[in-house]
Every structure is written in structure tokens, then in C-alpha cells.
Amino acid sequence: MIKVLNINQTLQDLKIKLSTEIDKQKSSKTNKLLKDLKANTPVDTGTARDSWVIENGNIVNTTDYIDDLNRGTSVQAPEYFIEKTLLANEGVSPNGTIVTVR
């Protein structure tokens, strides 16, 4: 007969380790997306580029004219550069709205 001891504790430990690893991977991916968005944002004064931040797990830009830039008003970046930047990253697939304008 074989007995597996402490299976509940082992499963709990694995759950914690998995959750920690998922959080690390999510943070790493979010930081890469932020870096890519900054790199692909058209620059005149640098305000739009420098306004990208992570808030509550979301990447946010509160610059008044970021939506105009995303609609292609700058010759430095194509129309919908935000969506194109995000979708160009491996493992990113939308399951709803990609960009929301407040």
C-alpha cells in the first residue's frame, strides 16, 4: 500500500507558487506593453509618450489628445497605433475592447 501524505498542503503550496508566477508574468508583460507603447507614441513635446502609466493593472494615458493621435493625426505614427502596438505582442489577443476613451 502507498500513502500520499500532506496532499492538501502540497496542493495549497502549488496554488500559491502558481499564483505568484502568474502575477510575475502578468507584470512583466504589462511592463513590456507599456515600453512598446511609449516607443510607438508620436513625439512632439513628449507629453503623450511620457503620460503612459499603469493604473490598477491597466495601461492608461490621460493626455487630452491621445485619442486624436491614435486616429492618425500625426505623420509619425499610423492610425490605430495603440491597437497595432498591443496586438503585435506575442500572447496578446483581445477579448473585448482594446482602447477606451474616457
**Structural domain boundaries in the chain:** 29-102
| Burial 36-70, CB ≥16 within 10 A → b, else e | bbbebbbeeeeebbeebeeeeeebebeeeebeebb
- The answer to whether the predicted template modeling score (pTM) of the entire model surpasses 0.85 is no
**pLDDT (tens digit per residue) in 62-82:** 999 999 999 999 999 999 999
The DSSP H or E segment spanning 28 is helix 7-40
The values of phi and psi at residue 2, to 5°, are -115, 135
**pLDDT (tens digit per residue) in 1-60:** 888 888 899 899 999 999 999 999 999 999 999 999 999 999 999 999 999 999 998 899
For residue 60, list its beta bridge partners. Answer: 53
Q: How many helices (H) and strands (E) does the chain have?
A: 4, 2
